[in-house]
Structure 1
Amino acid sequence: MDTSIDDLLRASAPHRASTDGMVAAEIDRVGIAARVHAARRRRVRRLSWVAVPVLALPGIALASTAGTDPRMIPDFEIPISYVTDTGREVSCSIELFNGEMNYAETNTKAVEFIAAQNWEGVGQRIYDEAVKRDAAGDFAPFFGAAQDVIFAGADEYILPGDGGVGSDTDCTGELH
């Protein structure tokens, strides 16, 4: 027997009330479209069982660790403000975190040294250095200048392998 399932289904279908060929073709077209639509819905439903948990996992991980990361609160914050060459006033901040290794703070002396410095006018000093670096073609001139200006003199407190000093900023590095 070489009959396919489609042949068997066609043979078992009730006889059509209309003998008009166009009506029969339209009924066939609507039936096929309904089967295709149902197959797509099943496929989407099947994919959602995989996609939803995969997409939800990062959110669950963030929600479960929120507030437990010791780096959420900075150990010191440096206010940065400067005026660009176009006269725009910019204000932002750079946050510093004690270095850590294996979730234990290791380098509190570096942040203590930096906190003890006079930070008045530091934003304009960073900006002036960044403009020089930009003219020299440096990549990310503002952030390199900020790193050098802030950590100038702190070399003896930041030793290789001690966890370093972490930082975060809301500064965009706007120069012009």
Structure 2
Amino acid sequence: KHEAIVLSSHKVVISAAKDEIVLLSAIDYLTGEVLISHLVLPYEQVDDWRSSTTGITLSIMDDALEKEFAVLDGWKAAREALWQLIDSDTILVGYTLRRDLDALRMIHGCGVDMAILTQRSAGGSLGRRHIALENLCRELLKFELQAHGERGLDCLEMAFAIRELVLWSINNKAKLTAWAKEK
């Protein structure tokens, strides 16, 4: 099993305004190896594909299924694929990690959340705009997270960005604290 894994996911809206995972990316935190980068077929009817963010539409999902691409069959299959790579000692790394875990309907006791790390470095609450993943990449890493037009944000690129942010934060704790307190 892997020692630490970075998670990133895209979610769509299903009934009762609940999030359902539609794309899962996981990379090894230590090596950067891509472990999972798969579409996930929602179990329920999708009310909002959030296509501007996810880049996924019903026709894209149907096309992937028709062409027999590797599509995980719902959140249970996505969760099972993840558990094949981790155990209770694996450190999960993410950005708003709780939302990813909620979408996978799982609990895991060992994690690093870049959004929480940034809030704690500030010694208080920062606005969503300040801790947005795109903003953290731009201001701390001097890296522009790419919006790919109709294709939305690249989930795998987000996983690598989260990894780089956490690595940067470990090596630049004083800089992160100074930046966060300034906001």
Q: TM-score, normalised by structure 2?
A: 0.21
By percentage of residues, which structure has more helix? 1
Q: Which has the higher contact order (CA 8 A, sep 6+)?
A: 2
- Return the index of the structure with the highest Cα Rg: 1
By percentage of residues, which structure has more strand? 2
